[in-house]
Structures are given as structure tokens and as C-alpha cells.
Amino acid sequence: ADDERVRVALADRSYDILIGRDLLAEAGAHVAALGARTIGVVTDENVAAIHLPAVAASLRRHGLTVETVIVPAGEKSKSFETLGFVVDGLIAARVERGDVVLALGGGVVGDLAGFAAAILRRGVRCVQAPTSLLAQVDSSVGGKTGINSPRGKNLIGAFHQPSLVLADTSALDTLPPREFRAGYAEVAKYGLIDDEAFFGWLEANHAEVFAGGPARTRAIATSCRAKAGVVARDEHEHGDRALLNLGHTFGHALEAEVAYDGTRLIHGEGVAIGMAMAFRFSAALGLAAPADARRVEAHLAAVGLPTSPKAVPGPLGGPEALFRHMQQDKKVERGRLTFILAHGVGQSFVSRDVEAAQVMAFLESEL
Ligand code: NAD
Ligand code: ZN
């Protein structure tokens, strides 16, 4: 009843994101409409144990042949080795040109299975069935797929837009609370970028978003609509899409600083700290009011997200170490740091005018 549909309109094709409760139990109906025969379901061990039976049963009820490839859970699966395992599994399962790869899982599975679909037989269609909040509001939308290189995250991949996204909001009921909170940082991000009304709505309704039901569906749909809009304007990431990196320059540096140790910091937590830092930095530069930075911190803290690098457990390097990671970030262009700063909540912008000395002084004050 509270289902939503977000249309992603691209230059040459379009697809739907369906958002609502219990969509996975009806996956067969939606996937059968695409006219495939064999569905290669790629998922991870955690999600397979909880959600695969219902999905497979629904696909079979609709006359589809179901083949599954299950990978270990976790970022390590975004590797050439696991990609080879997935592609080989799909070939062995006779997933052919007209068939469909269904990515059932969080962002790791979505990126990995999406990339496998992009290169299998020079491209087969992919349905994204994201089961983490982060995947529902971010990674499953936009067509970026790929794996990690030993030299850095997300350095290998392809743009491969899905044919359909099925975001089952009830699947999030089984997500570990820490993962849900981390995904929520990306939800709040869309408000902070350019939608103050949405941020205000989140301030009033975050408890319902965490609880499930219509508020959760609405938050996810609003997030998908925001991302779909950015993707439609800038499918291959030449400009506009940079705003989506709000909080990510600082966040990625912190993730790198803990060597991607998820026991210390997971991506969305880094983004939460990074967004709070971006607002404090904006205030320090005289671009935003200090009260705006405090408002951002207060909301993130209200849902249990960290807002300061001091909240990261264990020792962190100093300002120089963080600064080095920021310079290695792939968003650095011709030696100039790119920051997403803000004039206020919902008023973010891309800045290439920040001096290294200003960054260092700010980092000194943060650590
Ligand atoms: P993830 O896929 O590792 O999922 C987090 C954990 O939750 C895993 O242990 C997983 O098994 C488990 N899980 C997922 N759904 C569950 C459910 N419903 N119930 C119980 N457990 C569940 O991590 P993530 O945060 O979803 O995604 C992170 C990845 O997304 C990163 O690799 C990142 O690079 C990528 N990403 C990609 C894009 C893009 O545009 N392609 C954007 C943002 C992030
Ligand atoms: Zn992110």
C-alpha cells in the first residue's frame, strides 16, 4: 500500500526502482516481466541464509530457472578472484545473453554481481535487489559496478545500469543495527546536499525510519529520487555527481587511516564523521553558520552515528597522515583538493579553492 516507484531516466534508456515491504517475496513477478529464462542469483552467505529461499521460490513459481552463486560476505569479495568465481559460476549455470543476473545483497554483492553482468558475454541484464540500507539508497542506483584493486578501492569496474531495482524495505529488518545506522548516514546526506525540507523531515521522523513502515519507504524513495536525479544529469560522473561525495573526502581518509578495519569504522560511519567535519570546516572558513554545523552533529548523534574523528576507537595518525590519504583520493584533480562544502543545510557546493594550509589547520583542530 505504501509502495513507491522511482523512475531513473537516462539518455538512452530508463528503469524503475520499486520500493516497499515484502517485494522480495514477489521478485518472480517483477523479474519474469523482463522475459528471461534463467536467473543467475548472486548473493553472499549472510543474505543467502536469510532471504534466498523466498526469492528463489518466487522466481520458480513464475517458471524461471534459478541458479545461485554464493560468495563470502564482506568487502574482500570485491576481488578478481571472487569475480572469476562468479563469472565462471554463471557460465557453468548457462546464464545466456537474454538472461538476467540478480544481485541479492548489500553493496558488495551489488558491485560484484553488477560487474559480472557487465562483462559476462559482453553484457547481460542485471536486476539489483539491494538488502542493505546503503545499497538501497546509494550503490544499487546509478550503474557503477566494480571491484577493488590491491592498490585501492573501486579502481576496476564498468558502468552497467540495472534493468530494475527491487528495494524491499522489510529486508532491512534483519540488517545488523550498526549497518542500518551507517546506511542512514547516506540518507541524511541527500538532505544535507540540497534538500533542507527532507533533512527537517528526518529530524522529526528518524525513529519511524528506523522502525520500518511508511516513513522508511518514504526516506528510501526520497533518497533514490535524489540519486536518480543526479545520475540522470551526469550518468558518467563528469561533474554534478561530485556533490554525492559530501562527507566522503574526510570519510575515505579515515577509512584508509584504519586500513578499512570494519571493527573500527565502517563506510557510513566515516561518512557521518566526514559530513560533520565538512560542516565544521565550512563554518571555520566562514562559509556556514556554526549553528548549522551543530544542527548536523545533533541529528547524526540522535541516531547514534559518530560525528568526530575522536570517536574512532584506537589510535589515529595525525593531521599529516589524514591529509596524505585525502591527496590520494581519486577525487583529486591536477593536484587541487576538491571539497564538498556548504553554505548551510541543503546548500552544498563543490569547492576547489581550499588551500592546503587551511585544511591542515582544520585537521589540527579536529584530531
Ligand atoms: P555489504 O554488502 O558488505 O553489507 C553489509 C553487511 O550486511 C554484510 O555482512 C552483509 O552480508 C550484510 N547484509 C546485507 N543485507 C542484509 C540483510 N538484509 N540482513 C542481514 N544481513 C545483511 O556492505 P554495504 O554497506 O551494503 O555496501 C558497501 C559496498 O558498497 C562497498 O563495497 C562500497 O564500495 C559499495 N558502494 C558502491 C556504490 C556504487 O555506486 N556502486 C556506492 C556506494 C557504495
Ligand atoms: Zn558513501
Q: Over the chain, what is the mean pLDDT?
A: 95
The C-alpha angle with vertex 185 and arms to 179 and 188, in degrees rounded to 5, equals: 140
Q: Which of 45, 79, 83, 111 to mutate to test the pocket of ligand 1 (most atoms within 8 A of CB)?
A: 111
Asked if residue 126 has its Cβ within 6 Å of ligand 1, the reply is no
Residue 208 confidence (pLDDT): 97
Residue 179 C-alpha cell reads as: 549497518
Q: Which CATH architecture group holds 4-174?
A: 3-Layer(aba) Sandwich (3.40)
Asked if residue 237 has its Cβ within 6 Å of ligand 1, the reply is no
Q: Among all ligands shown, which has an atom nearest to the Cα of 185?
A: 2
pLDDT at 66 over 60: yes
| Spacing, Cα 271 to ligand 2 middle (Å) | 6
Q: Is 128 helix (H, G, I), strand (E, B) or coil?
A: strand
Q: Model pTM?
A: 0.96
CA distance 28 to 243: 36
Asked if residue 140 has its Cβ within 6 Å of ligand 1, the reply is no
Q: In angstroms, how far is the first alpha carbon of the chain from the final one?
A: 48
Give residue limits of the domains in the chain.
Answer: 4-174, 177-366
| Spacing, Cα 283 to ligand 1 middle (Å) | 32
Atom of ligand 1 minimally distant from the CA of 186 = 43
Average of pLDDT values for 108-121? 98
| Spacing, Cα 198 to ligand 1 middle (Å) | 24
Place of cell 563543490: 350
Q: What is the dihedral of CA 69, 264, 181, 71, to 10 degrees?
A: 0
CATH of domain 177-366: 1.20.1090.10
* Model ipTM value: 0.99
Over the stretch 230-285, which tens digit does the pLDDT of each residue have?
Answer: 988 888 877 778 899 999 999 999 999 999 999 999 999 999 999 999 999 999 99
Protein residue with least CA distance to atom 32, ligand 1: 108
| Spacing, Cα 248 to ligand 2 middle (Å) | 7
| Spacing, Cα 317 to ligand 1 middle (Å) | 27
Burial of 45 (0-12, 13-18, 19+ CB in 10 A): middle
| Enzyme catalytic residues | 122, 144, 186, 227, 237, 241, 245, 248, 252, 267
Protein residue with least CA distance to atom 16, ligand 1: 175
- Of 327, 354, 329, nearest to 339 (Cα)? 354
Asked if residue 143 has its Cβ within 6 Å of ligand 1, the reply is no
Atom of ligand 1 minimally distant from the CA of 114 = 41
Q: Among all ligands shown, which has an atom nearest to the Cα of 156?
A: 1
Q: In this structure, which long-range contacts are made by residues 201-210, counting pairs with CB atoms below 8 Å and at least 24 apart in sequence?
A: 202/299, 203/299, 203/302, 206/299, 206/302, 206/303, 209/184, 210/180, 210/184, 210/303
**Which of 94-103, 107-116, 324-333 has the weakest average pLDDT?**
324-333
